[in-house]
Amino acid sequence: MSSKETGVFNILNAIDVGNHIEQKNGLSYLSWAWAWSTVKSIFPKTTYKVYENEQGLNYHHDNKTAWVKVGVTIEDECIEYLPVMDFKNKSIPLSALTSMDVNKAIQRALTKAIARQGLGLYVYAGEDLPESAKYLNEDQTLELESLIAKTGTDKATLLQYYKVRDLKEVDYNHCLAMLNKKLNVDHK
């Protein structure tokens, strides 16, 4: 991966998408319109492409179900394949497919392709939202406290790293991963 690619990814991945998450059927979604406008405002030359099949249709199929193929290019292209699904996230049979279903799949694939470029990737990774105002619960805090003790980490330095005053304010998933990594290294 070139340094330019890394730069694009790191910058997009540093964006707090917490206020732009939509919940549907218990799953988190990023608004495609917000994701696209955000990427374009930072990297104006960004383009996207909906790949058509050999018949010129904006979806692909295997005679049973269908999927869409969408690419987003910033420095390099990231391609996302997404099945055309219903509201239960089940593939829609080809015979029941509507243009609206395909359109929705294209929008979702576009957002996921943008996520591959870095924006809101943690939403798809199932991570917690890193909102600065969101505090950890007691169990999470105790877990981190325990790992801090086990790894001999200086708590003050850790808080300084996250620029917070209390352990409850740190990015839980990031901190947990970092401490676990340190624990594993120490054990080796």
Partner 1 sequence: MLITNNFNRFFWGTFIKDIHSNLKVLRWNNIDFMIYKLDSQGLHDLLKIVTFNNKSLKEMENVEVVKYLEDIRVLLSDNSFTLKIDEEEWQRLLRSCGIEK
Chain positions contacting partner 1, by CB under 8 A: 7, 10-11, 13-16, 19, 38, 41-43, 130, 132, 161-163
Q: How far is the CB of 127 from partner 1 (least distance, A)?
A: 12
Q: Which one, of 81, 78, 2, 72, lies nearest residue 43 by Cα?
A: 72
- Give the nearer residue to partner 1 in terms of CB position, either 132 or 146: 132
Q: How far is the CB of 38 from partner 1 (least distance, A)?
A: 6
- Give the nearer residue to partner 1 in terms of CB position, either 43 or 135: 43
First to last CA, the chain: 29
- Give the nearer residue to partner 1 in terms of CB position, either 15 or 183: 15
- Give the nearer residue to partner 1 in terms of CB position, either 135 or 162: 162
DSSP string of 81-104?
EEE-B-TTS-BPBGGG--HHHHHH
Q: How far is the CB of 80 from partner 1 (least distance, A)?
A: 22
Q: Which residues make Cβ contacts (< 8 Å) with residue 175, sequence separation at least 6?
A: 144, 158, 162
Q: How far is the CB of 15 from partner 1 (least distance, A)?
A: 6
Spatial contact of 130 and 122, defined as CB atoms under 8 Å apart: yes
- Give the nearer residue to partner 1 in terms of CB position, either 92 or 176: 176
Q: How far is the CB of 53 from partner 1 (least distance, A)?
A: 36
Q: Is the dihedral of CA 77, 83, 88, 92 positive or negative?
A: positive
Q: List the beta bridge partners of residue 22.
A: 29
